[in-house]
Amino acid sequence: MISRRTSLMLIAPALVLMAVLFLTPLGYSLIWAFREEEAGRWGIGNFTKAWSFYSADILFSLVIVTLSAALIGALSIAISGYLTLGRSRRAVALLRWLYRWPLFIPFVVAAQVMRTFLAKNGMMNNALVELGLLTPLQTASYLDWRGIVITFAWKQTPFVTLLLAGAMASLDRSMIESAQNLGARRLRILFGIVVPQVAQTLMVGLILSYVMMMSVLSVPMMINAQQPTMLTVDMAWRINAYGDYGVANALGFIAYLMTAAVAWGYLRKELRDRKGHA
Amino acid sequence: MSVRIAKLFAPVAIALVTTGAAQAETLYVATGGSQNMVDYVTDYLGPMFEEQNPGWTVNTVGTGPGDAGSQAILEKLDAQKGRDSWDTDVIVTNQLKTAEMVESGLLQQYRDQIGTGDLVTSASARMALGTDVDGYVMPMFSSQTAIAYNPDLVEDVPASLDDIKAWAAAHPGGFGYNGIKNGMSGVAFTTAWIYAYGGDAQDMIDGPYEETAKEGWDQAFADLKAFNQNVTFTPGNAGTLDMLNRGEIAMGPVWVDMFYTWQADGRLNPNLKLLLPEPGMPGQPYYYAIPAKAAHAEAAMKFIELATSPEVQAEGIVKKFNWYPGIDAQHIESALDEETWNKLFTDVSPANLAANAKPFPLGAYFSDMLEQYETNVTN
């Protein structure tokens, strides 16, 4: 049996690393969001400036990330649902092999791939034109907010699907089978029996994706040249062009609040689960 | 006693160290600007310097276009302020940030110490957006923005910003630019817009700065916001050229040098043309400067001397990279054939250039303009 003291010593290096490399910079940027460098005082000046400059972008980020999360949820339910309930063995095997690929591709590469794929004269439109479905004049570029949503969904769906398919596989199959015996259709089994049982896993996957998408800089930067854009781009701009860490920190603070709201939901659920098991 | 001895030997020691090091020394060059500027130093100027100065290696770092690229250099120097020797020897930065660096004492005066210092008499070698930079800088080149257009898609070629406004309204999505966050060609277009619709352009260029002036821009920015509804946003200076080339937009602001270089490289539709609309679009020089405590200041001067020599300005700046020269034109005309010289003025004539090429506004106006763009146009 390891003593209390030894166990504390064992986790000390990890704790120190956390404190030095993560908590300190986090606390530092949170505090310095309230520092008005030019006026030499503390206050909420950075926040009013951030709001008057970037309120549209704050809302835009919220809408994009929420929309992407919804799309990811729908797609991952569809994919993991088929993996669990699909009848064609070959199709299930193929899907299982295919869907994980985007997991291994970094966001920046995904963004670059989408740039060539979704452009006005990109691969997708060229293919549609070749197939005779569109004329060259009808093509439109998807390199705007839609591009961001598509990239996020493409990149994060496998992650949520992985969690979800795992949860579905560990379900007791007898309920599914008895529903099948009673003549329920697969869609009804999926939404009536399977999804409610894995809803918590789905939520966790979506919350983690939400936080991850909030922090991505490369995708909005490469895909969406327009205004409004996402908060990360504005933060980079304030720092790179002006050396204005105050407003950048304020924007970061706002992003923290947005993710904190979701993370709070996650933690609350985790705690409730632990209590339930204990 | 020992201090005395140390003092006595210090120069000897330094001399020894420097001669020893001369065997293999590295000159560190940091350059802002688009990729073509990095290419210029790594592929052209650096190898030439290395050839002429055996034992030296030129190490080049590109920091990116726009204010952000030059800001990165500023921050790097600022971070080393307390040290005796800085690790960057030559910097290439834009006007706004160079002016800020001169003001905060990060650069050293060197122009009268190099042989080519008196080959430049232009105003931009003395003043940068209202700040006195005399002696601290040598212009590397002058560059100009203009509107590039595709004659196959644009029938009535616009001659002024009013015409462009009307054309863009009639052809939604046909005009493209990169806003203000993705490179200077978009910033230049915004500047041109304010010059045209925001009051007296000359006051913004000559000063003095008046804080109230920006209040007169509201209408201009409201119009720009309406104009933006009909344009396509491009991902950057190169992005505008790319989209022009692919026919996705028919018109957009570009840097003249990038335009000609891309065309010469076969990366751009050879039919595309340039125009410099009334009342004018801005251009800017990039500057060579030496940090106040550069470790190799002497070599840095040698490097800049080479870079601003008439031969290099003719061959490298004008002929290879299609910029307008940094030093006075009369010094390099003799080193160039007529044809190359005229190529610079294919679409934009010298008279047109004289009438419609403008500098960027004073630094304070420039910042006001960018801030108002963010509050009034994009938010």
| Partners of residue B26 on adjacent β-strands | B57
pLDDT at B3: 56
**Any residues with CB less than 8 A from the CB of A207 and at least 6 apart, and which?**
A262, A263, A265, A266
pLDDT at B15: 52
For residue B365, the tally of other CB atoms under 10 A from its CB is: 25
Specify the amino acid at residue B223. Answer: D
Angle, helices B184-197 vs B161-170, to 10°: value is 110
Longest dimension (CA), chain A: 74
ipTM of this predicted complex? 0.72
**pLDDT at B17 exceeding the cut of 70:** no
**pLDDT at A64 exceeding the cut of 90:** yes
- Quickly list DSSP for B27-66: EEEEEEB-HHHHHIIIIIIHHHHHHHSTTEEEEEEEEESH
Work out the minimum CA distance from B342 to partner chain A, whole angstroms.
Answer: 35
* All structural domains of chain A with their residue ranges: 48-277
C-alpha distances out from residue B172 to A241, B101, B228, B233, B251, Å: 30, 42, 10, 12, 11
- Interface A–B counts its CB contacts (< 8 A) at 58
d(C-alpha B318, C-alpha B328), whole Å: 12
Per the structure block, which two tokens stand in for B55? 């034992």
d(C-alpha B5, C-alpha B211), whole Å: 59
**pLDDT, mean of residues A252-273:** 84
Q: Which helix (H) or strand (E) holds B324?
A: strand B324-325
Fold entry, domain B2-142+285-342:
D-Maltodextrin-Binding Protein; domain 2 (3.40.190)
For residue B229, the tally of other CB atoms under 10 A from its CB is: 9
Q: Do domains B2-142+285-342 and B143-283+346-377 have the same CATH topology?
A: yes
d(C-alpha B229, C-alpha B248), whole Å: 16
Tell whether A226 is within 8 A of chain B (Cβ): yes
**pLDDT, mean of residues B347-370:** 86
Q: Which of A56, A119, A241 has its CB closest to that of B66?
A: A241
* All structural domains of chain B with their residue ranges: 2-142+285-342, 143-283+346-377
| Partners of residue B145 on adjacent β-strands | B255
pLDDT at B1: 45
Instruction: Assign domain B143-283+346-377 to a CATH class.
Output: alpha beta
Residues B18-64: tens digit of each pLDDT = 544 446 789 999 999 888 889 999 999 999 999 999 999 999 999 98
Q: What is the CATH number of domain A48-277?
A: 1.10.3720.10
CB A57 within 8 A of CB A229: yes
Interface test with A, best of B234, B374, B375, B376 (most A CBs within 10 A): B374
**pLDDT, mean of residues B284-301:** 93
Q: Which residues of chain A have a CB within 8 Å of the CB of B227?
A: none
SS3 state at A230? coil
The region that residue A242 occupies, defined by phi over 0 for left and psi between -120 and 50 for alpha, beta otherwise, is alpha
pLDDT band for A61, please (50, 70, 90 cuts). Answer: very high
pLDDT at A154: 95
The stretches of A87-230 forming alpha helices (DSSP H) are 89-98, 107-118, 123-130, 145-169, 173-181, 186-189, 195-214, 218-223
d(C-alpha B240, C-alpha B147), whole Å: 11
Work out the minimum CA distance from B351 to partner chain A, whole angstroms.
Answer: 34
CB B357 within 8 A of CB B278: no
Give the dihedral sign, CA B231/B235/B238/B243: negative
Give the dihedral sign, CA A88/A91/A95/A96: positive
SS3 state at B81? coil
DSSP state of B298: H
Contact B378 A237 (CB under 8 A): no
CB B290 within 8 A of CB B304: yes
d(C-alpha A37, C-alpha A25), whole Å: 18
Q: Which residues of chain B have a CB within 8 Å of the CB of A241?
A: 66-68, 71, 181
Range with the poorest average pLDDT among A124-128, A188-192, B10-14, B358-362:
B10-14
